[in-house]
Each structure stands twice: as C-alpha cells, then as structure tokens.
Amino acid sequence: MNARATTQWFAGATMGVLLVATVGAGTAAAEDVDDQGIDVSVDITDQGGGELSMTVAANEGVDLVEEGSDESARQFVGTTPTVTVTDTRDPADVPEGHYWAVLGQAGEFVDATDGTKTIGAEYLGWTPTLLSESSTGLVSEGEPVDSAVDAGPGLAGQELLVSTWESGAESGTWDVAADLALRTPADVEAGSYSSTITLTLMEQSF
C-alpha cells in the first residue's frame, strides 16, 4: 500500500461481533452470560459481470471465556464467526494492480453496569486462519496481532484479517476466522464487558 493508492469500496460492512468478557475476582473461570445477537449489513455496488462481497456466518455473538491466565495477565479467549469473501468477477475484467483486503478494528470494552469501567481495544488480539484453499496462493490470512500486554497494538486500529495482492489472479470463495485473545493486566477490575469488532472489505489499486 502506498500513499498514492486509490480506494474503491465494493463492500463496506459493519460486523457487530459482540464480544462479552466477564471478569471475576481472582483467576476463576468467567461466569456464563446471556448470548447477544449481532446485526450484519452490507452495501454492494453493482460491478457488472460479477461482484466482490463479504458475509458473516449467522451467530449469536462471541463469549470470551477465561483460559491461560497467569500471574502476569488475565486471558479470555474465543473465535470469531466464519467470514466469507466471494469474488464472482471474471479475473480478466479486474484491472491490473487491484487488490482486496478485509480489515478489522475493535471498539473499547465497556462494563454493562458501570460505563466508566472500560478495557481498551489494544488489549484484544487475534490470530487469523484461512479456512479455504487459494488456487494461486495469493489469498492469505493476516499476521497475528498481540495484546498491549505483550507489547502489541491489539485491535485498537485496523488490522488485516485476509487479503490478496492481485484481485485478478483468481476468483472464488474464501472462508477465514480468527482466534481472539483478550489479555489484560492481572489487576483488571471485575465486571461484564462488551465490545464490537467492525470488519471492512475494501479494494484498492496501486
């Protein structure tokens, strides 16, 4: 990506993946909470001769559960619903130099009963995994993103979930998901926190 790249928004989708992390005292496992639904919407521009789009598998949100905590950090884990990118365009119709990407960014975790208690999105990390084969090898998952506890940026800014560096190289359908890990300081305040991950599918040209 360079500063002169132009951006075309084929599908800008807000995926409200509701993340619920219940933080109790000590290192006991988090208590179950009611599942929460999410709204999924997508605006697709007619490209003619096929389209590039993104969908999110039906789900009731992601409940993060405590696993892997130690003296240095509390850790709560879960997995996103499957995210599917579909490109039905004829590769020959895609201009050279175009590439698409799905980016994800989390909002701040806010306690359900006390809105002044928050956990920054920088404490939420993920490890994406491409669940489908790429015939050319040009479609791949993003790199793991660490929590701020481990000196990473977390999902406070946009991070790569999946992408291709040449949109016209292959068409098809690709599934991807990400293992989530909310790693907080060991003295994090108890509470029932929730956040939303926003996913955006975009296509750019160099």
CA nearest neighbour of 123 among 27, 67, 188: 188
Average pLDDT, the chain: 84
Q: How far apart are the C-alpha atoms of 74 and 15, rounded to whole Å?
A: 26
Report the amino acid identity of residue 23.
V
Judge whether 76 and 182 are in contact, CB under 8 Å. Answer: yes
Judge whether 202 and 99 are in contact, CB under 8 Å. Answer: no
Q: What is the pLDDT of residue 29?
A: 46
Percent of the chain that is helix, strand, coil (3-state, to 5):
5, 50, 45
Residue of higher predicted confidence among 80 and 6: 80
Q: What is the mean pLDDT of residues 156-170?
A: 95
Q: What is the pLDDT of residue 103?
A: 95
Q: How far apart are the C-alpha atoms of 37 and 35, rounded to whole Å?
A: 7
Q: What is the pLDDT of residue 25?
A: 52
Judge whether 173 and 86 are in contact, CB under 8 Å. Answer: yes
CA nearest neighbour of 180 among 76, 40, 37, 30: 76
Determine what percent of the chain is predicted with pLDDT higher than 70: 76
Q: How far apart are the C-alpha atoms of 181 and 143, rounded to whole Å?
A: 14
